[in-house]
């Protein structure tokens, strides 16, 4: 049974243990800078999972995509480790679209998590090979119809949006490529969409120690 986390908008939980790792210490320092620059609705361990997924998939051919950009914090994390890969960023910038009954356990509503396209564009202006698309996905997917992907990060919160993203990206993932989805543990619509989609697929859905799940394309 899902119980909504009412402190979701703070996202100051899930601290990242270092275990003596220099890389983790460096990442934690960089993450503090990102949090000071923009509003990042991720736990520290969730942010590190995105960082690690980006690093691990550098050996996999294909572009990177993120659907659900919000204010650009997770995109900044991806940029720090993506290398020369092209990053495609999709968001309505008007907040959530339609919210169905399955999503209602969360305090979700149409328009929540709206952000400024211009502010995100300015925040990421110094990053190379980054393309920003404004509008409802997959209506905005035209420029990447013929692309393949090494990493896709989803943070779209609802059943319908998650379903459409999986339908678009899964067939375009290269073997070894990773799909990461936020809110798998905490948003019932996301979990329903992921579990339904992969029910007849060979890949297992791996629940992380935070709220994400990961699927690696076979």
Report yes or no: 100 and 193 within 8 Å, Cβ to Cβ.
no
Q: How far is CA 20 from the centre of its chain?
A: 27
Q: What is the mean pLDDT of the chain?
A: 93
How far from 193 is each of 69, 71, 75, 137, 180, CA to CA, in Å?
A: 20, 25, 23, 16, 13
Of residues 184 and 1, more confidence is placed in 184
* pTM score, whole prediction: 0.92
Residue 17 has pLDDT above 60, yes or no: yes
pLDDT digits (tens, 9 = 90+) for 132-146: 999 999 999 999 999
At residue 104, the pLDDT reads 75
Q: Bridge-partner residues for 180, per DSSP?
A: 153, 214
pLDDT digits (tens, 9 = 90+) for 153-211: 999 999 999 999 999 999 999 999 999 999 999 999 999 999 999 999 999 999 998 99
Contacts 24+ apart (CB under 8 A), 19-28: 24/48, 27/51
Residue 79 has pLDDT above 90, yes or no: yes
Residue 9 has pLDDT above 50, yes or no: no
Q: For residue 13, what pLDDT band results from cuts at 50, 70 and 90?
A: low
Report yes or no: 83 and 58 within 8 Å, Cβ to Cβ.
yes
At residue 15, the pLDDT reads 79
For β-strands 87-91 and 63-67, DSSP reports them as parallel
Q: Which range among 7-16, 91-100, 209-218 shows the weakest confidence by mean pLDDT? A: 7-16
How is residue 154 written in tokens? 């989803």
- Spatial distance between the Cα atoms of 140 and 159, rounded to a whole number of angstroms: 19
At residue 108, the pLDDT reads 87
In CATH terms, is domain 22-216 a member of 3.40.50.150?
A: yes
């Amino acid at each position: 049974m899902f119980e909504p986390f009412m402190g979701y908008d703070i996202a100051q939980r899930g601290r990242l243990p270092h275990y003596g790792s220099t890389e983790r210490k460096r990442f934690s320092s960089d993450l503090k800078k990102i949090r000071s620059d923009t509003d990042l609705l991720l736990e520290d361990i969730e942010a590190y999972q995105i960082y690690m997924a980006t690093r691990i998939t550098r050996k996999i051919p294909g572009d990177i995509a993120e659907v659900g950009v919000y204010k650009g914090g997770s995109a900044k994390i991806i940029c720090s480790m993506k290398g020369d890969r092209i990053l495609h960023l999709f968001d309505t910038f008007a907040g959530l679209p339609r919210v169905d009954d399955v999503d209602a356990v969360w305090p979700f509503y149409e328009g929540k998590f709206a952000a400024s396209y211009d502010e995100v564009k300015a925040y990421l202006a110094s990053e190379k090979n980054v393309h920003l698309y404004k509008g409802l996905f997959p209506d905005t997917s035209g420029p990447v119809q013929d692309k393949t992907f090494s990493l896709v990060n989803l943070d779209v919160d609802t059943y319908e949006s998650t379903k459409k993203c999986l339908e678009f990206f899964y067939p375009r993932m290269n073997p070894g490529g990773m799909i990461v989805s936020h809110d798998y543990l905490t948003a019932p619509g996301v979990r329903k969409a992921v579990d339904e989609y992969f029910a007849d697929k060979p890949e297992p859905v791996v629940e992380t120690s935070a709220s994400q799940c990961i699927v690696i394309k076979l």
